[in-house]
Amino acid sequence: MKIYNKWVYKILVERETEMGFKDYDITKNNKFQDNPSGYSSFRDTEVVMIVMEWVGVITILFIPLINIIMFSIWTFGKKSNMNLRNFCRAILVAIVIGFCLKVLRDIFYF
């Protein structure tokens, strides 16, 4: 078991180094610690959303009027989950691009 842990640790350290993070400390119960440089990694603060939470999000986005309110809260809110916030921002970018393409189509092909 210890050999497996050392192997996993080696992979984690290599990935963290490649990505620019260096805040993994094996000496402190295998937990990510704050980096002295002040950088706090995503893993320190966010919880990954489970499938049923995503099902709930998509269900809420189907309800008229409430979807606009919740979408705005999730997109621009500081306290919303980072996964959900990035998802909503990606949807917003797709909506803006689609709207711009529709306007261009209407201008040139009308």
Q: Which residues contact 26 (CB under 8 A, 6 or more apart)?
A: 9
At 8 the pLDDT is 64
| Band (80; pLDDT cuts 50, 70, 90) | confident
Phi, psi of 95 (to 5 degrees): -65, -45
pTM value is 0.56
| Band (12; pLDDT cuts 50, 70, 90) | low
At 43 the pLDDT is 52
Contact 46, 81 (CB under 8 A): yes
Phi, psi of 24 (to 5 degrees): -95, 125
Q: Which residues contact 89 (CB under 8 A, 6 or more apart)?
A: 75
Residue closest to 34 by CA, chosen among 49, 44, 42: 44
Contact 59, 70 (CB under 8 A): no
At 101 the pLDDT is 95
The string of pLDDT tens digits covering residues 18-75 is 555 555 555 555 444 555 555 555 555 567 889 999 999 999 999 999 999 999 999 9
At 6 the pLDDT is 64
Least confident span in 4-18, 44-58, 70-84, 91-105: 4-18
